[in-house]
Amino acid sequence: MNMTPKNENCSTGQEPCSCETQAGPQPFPMHPGEDVVCCGSPVRPPSSTLERPGYRLWHFVEEFVETPAGPVPRVKTSLARPDILATALARMSSFRNDYKVEPGLYCVGRPGPDSAVLVSANYKLSFDALRKELSGLDAWILVLDTRGINVWCAAGKGLFCAPEVIRMVKLSGLEEVVRHRNIILPQLSATGVSARDVEKGCGFSVTWGPVRARDIRGFIRAGMKAEFPMRRVTFTFAERLLLVPVELFLLIKPTMWALLAIFVLSGLGVGFFSFNAAWLRGFMAVCALGAGIFAGAVLVPALLPWLPGRAFSLKGAIAGLLGGAGVVLAFWGRARGLEDLALVLFAGVVSSYLAMNFTGATPFTSPSGVEKEMRRAIPLQAAALLATILAWVGASFAG
Amino acid sequence: MDTLRYLDNVATLHLDGEACVGCGECTLVCPHGVFEVNEHKAALVDLGGCMECGACANNCPASAITVSPGVGCAVYIIQTWIKGKERATCGGGECC
């Protein structure tokens, strides 16, 4: 193999360069001692000594520390650019459905046999939320296989459960790593975990940690005791807004169908179908749809405590009807009476339904309550949608 | 969660005061402060705050608490109506 390119044209791209095909862990030296490369792009750094064939090293692993149960990765307690970018992606798309770390034992700092053991889920956002709060602490992190689902939802689905805790305690060889027999579980995992079953199954007693990872430090400082606020779930303005992008993402597909239906229904009229009407009237209906989506998926989460009523469908209907009224004002004079009615109703129905669906993303709605609300709201929503369609198509024939 | 309240008088949560041993585990695991322990007995101090997550019943050593646990999610509930409770899922990762 040539150590230097024979051909001067290599660097200008006119001729194939002999080292372009070069692959492998070592940089290809053009001139010994120089890190310069053929063909412009700088050479990537050599593979880390931590890497092993068949595995891919996470960027957050600092090193592997030897323990009686084998090597355990020490992870960084700060988030890097790839973590932040992936978090943003997970917050706004289906990327979150398969974003996980490998289950098993990790550590931060320099933990020993007496250090605390924190148990977490293997959704990467859960793992990141925990490790970024642990700077300066020495602790073990036992990550369960919750199929990439966060702590509370995994507990609700029965994935974050006593048998899984027991399985991972045994699989990780935790009892060889620590002398004590206690593990700290996030409080919200109690939905799926029976502390007594864990102790019976593996001999480790359970201490209920705080709800939020950011309270871990205060919890440990207080002698493994959580103050009352640490035990309560919150749903602040910022926490609610964080959910909006995914709500909107999930609406892309249904919106496409709605657009098609709007186009068809708007074009129907005395001459059977008018493309002109489909376009002109359709545009108004699309604006009402947009107002309904904005009201139900953005305004309702944002203004949740301030919108009147307890039922989400009612909060959504109010926000949506106001949005629809805004659309009518914007098109004042262009729509007829029946059409005005249809536009307002349409935005109200869309918003009411989306707001009702938002119950699934909140941390305080009971299933009994949601079911009760739905039994009342869905017939009303269906009736309002039917009235919307009749008024919209009827206006075209009446006109 | 004092500013955010959902429907009252719907939660299926029930506490058997006779059976309660006053260990206080329910006050540790409840995310909405529904329980308080006074004089070695737990009491429901905010039934309306209950979201039926099931954490208390799951961890009550005396089996004094019963609740029909579940996910308060419209998509899931619609599916239980259509497909039945066993085959219902939260559609497309909508809620959790």
CB-nearest to A190 from B58, B76, B95 is B58
Q: Which residue on chain A is closest to B88 by alpha carbon?
A: A157
CB spacing of A366 vs B6 below 8 angstroms: yes
Predicted local distance difference test score (pLDDT) of residue B1 = 61
Predicted local distance difference test score (pLDDT) of residue A284 = 95
Q: Are residues A88 and A166 in the same domain?
A: yes
List CB contacts (< 8 A) between A94 and chain B: 92-93
Separation CA A75–CA A137 (nearest Å): 12
**Residue A56 belongs to a domain:** no
Q: Are residues A105 and A76 in the same domain?
A: yes
Q: Assess whether pLDDT exceeds 80 at residue A26.
A: no
List CB contacts (< 8 A) between B70 and chain A: 367
* Average pLDDT over every residue of A344-362: 96
Q: Are residues A105 and A202 in the same domain?
A: yes
* Average pLDDT over every residue of B81-96: 62
Q: B76: distance to nearest CA of chain A, Å?
A: 8
Q: Assess whether pLDDT exceeds 50 at residue A189.
A: yes
Smallest CA-to-CA distance from A107 within A48, A207, A174, A203 is with A174
Confidence of residue B92 (pLDDT cuts 50, 70, 90): very low
* Domain containing residue A175: CATH number: 3.40.50.11600
Q: Assess whether pLDDT exceeds 60 at residue A7.
A: no
- Residues spanned by the domain of A387: 239-398
Q: Are residues A201 and A294 in the same domain?
A: no
Q: Assess whether pLDDT exceeds 60 at residue A29.
A: no
Rounded to the nearest 5 percent, the helix, strand and coil shares of chain A are 50, 10, 35
List CB contacts (< 8 A) between B77 and chain A: 367, 370-371, 374
Question: Which has the minimum average pLDDT: A83-92, A269-278, B20-29?
Answer: A269-278
Predicted local distance difference test score (pLDDT) of residue A358 = 94
Is B58 in CB contact (< 8 Å) with chain A?
yes
Q: Assess whether pLDDT exceeds 70 at residue A35.
A: no
Q: Are residues A358 and A224 in the same domain?
A: no
**Residue A187 belongs to a domain:** yes
Separation CA A316–CA A301 (nearest Å): 10
Q: Assess whether pLDDT exceeds 70 at residue A275.
A: yes
Q: Are residues A377 and A248 in the same domain?
A: yes
Predicted local distance difference test score (pLDDT) of residue B19 = 96
CB spacing of A235 vs B54 below 8 angstroms: no
Output the CA angle A210-A216-A217, nearest 5 degrees: 145
Residues of chain A with pLDDT > 90, as a percent, come to: 78
Q: Are residues A225 and A245 in the same domain?
A: no
Of A233, A248, A283, the one marking the end of a domain is A233
> What is the H or E stretch that residue B42 is in?
strand B41-44
Predicted local distance difference test score (pLDDT) of residue A5 = 42
Q: Which of residues 182-201 of A touch B (CB under 8 A)?
A: 187-188, 190-196
Q: Assess whether pLDDT exceeds 60 at residue A18.
A: no
Q: Which of residues 18-57 of B touch A (CB under 8 A)?
A: 25, 27-33, 49-56
**Per-residue pLDDT tens over the stretch A251-268:** 999 999 999 999 999 999
Q: Assess whether pLDDT exceeds 60 at residue A30.
A: no
List CB contacts (< 8 A) between B58 and chain A: 190-194
At a CB cut-off of 8 Å and minimum separation 6, what does A382 contact?
A: none
* Average pLDDT over every residue of A30-57: 75
Q: Which residue on chain A is closest to B11 by alpha carbon?
A: A368
Q: A366: distance to nearest CA of chain B, Å?
A: 4
Please give the C-alpha separations between residue A343 and each of A286, A314, A322, B44, in angstroms, as whole numbers: 9, 18, 11, 46
Q: Are residues A298 and A184 in the same domain?
A: no
- What amino acid occupies position A148? G
The CATH architecture of the domain made up of B14-70 is 2-Layer Sandwich (3.30)
Domain ranges within chain B, ordered by starting residue: 14-70
Question: Which has the minimum average pLDDT: A277-281, A335-339, A355-359, B65-69?
Answer: A335-339
Q: Are residues A116 and A197 in the same domain?
A: yes
Average pLDDT, chain A: 90
Q: Are residues A249 and A101 in the same domain?
A: no
- Which of A244, A368, A372, A376 is the best substitution to test chain B (most B C-beta atoms within 10 A)? A368
Q: Assess whether pLDDT exceeds 80 at residue A99.
A: yes
**Residue A105 belongs to a domain:** yes
Q: Assess whether pLDDT exceeds 80 at residue A335.
A: no
Is A232 in CB contact (< 8 Å) with chain B?
yes
**Do residues A351 and A317 make contact, with C-beta atoms less than 8 angstroms apart?**
yes
Can you give the three-state secondary structure of chain A, one letter per residue?
Answer: CCCCCCCHHHHHCCCCCCCCCCCCCCCCCCCCCCCCCCCCCCCCCCCCCCCCCCCCCCCCEEEEEEECCEEEEEECCCCCHHHHHHHHHHHHCHHHHHCECCCEEEEECCCCCCCEEEEECCEHHHHHHHHCCCCCCCEEEEECCCCCCCHHHHHHCCCCCHHHHHHHHHHHCHHHHCCCCEEEECHHHHHCCCHHHHHHHHCCEEEECCCCHHHHHHHHHCCCCCCHHHHCCCCCHHHHHCCHHHHHHCCHHHHHHHHHHHHHHHHEECCEECHHHHHHHHHHHHHHHHHHHHHHHHHHHHHCCCCCCCCHHHHHHHHHHHHHHHHHHHCCCCCCHHHHHHHHHHHHHHHHHHHHHHHHHCCCCCHHHHHHHHHHHHHHHHHHHHHHHHHHHHHHHHC
CB spacing of B53 vs A156 below 8 angstroms: yes
Confidence of residue A137 (pLDDT cuts 50, 70, 90): very high
Q: Assess whether pLDDT exceeds 70 at residue A148.
A: yes
Q: Which of residues 28-87 of A touch B (CB under 8 A)?
A: none
* Average pLDDT over every residue of A367-374: 94
**Residue A52 belongs to a domain:** no
Higher pLDDT, A194 or B82: A194
Predicted local distance difference test score (pLDDT) of residue A9 = 45
* Average pLDDT over every residue of B36-62: 95
- What amino acid occupies position B52? E
Q: Assess whether pLDDT exceeds 90 at residue B25.
A: yes
Count of domains forming chain A: 3
Q: B21: distance to nearest CA of chain A, Å?
A: 15
**Residue A80 belongs to a domain:** yes
Separation CA A123–CA A151 (nearest Å): 8
Q: Assess whether pLDDT exceeds 50 at residue B45.
A: yes
List CB contacts (< 8 A) between A362 and chain B: 4, 72
Q: Are residues A213 and A274 in the same domain?
A: no
Q: Assess whether pLDDT exceeds 80 at residue A3.
A: no
Q: Are residues A67 and A157 in the same domain?
A: yes
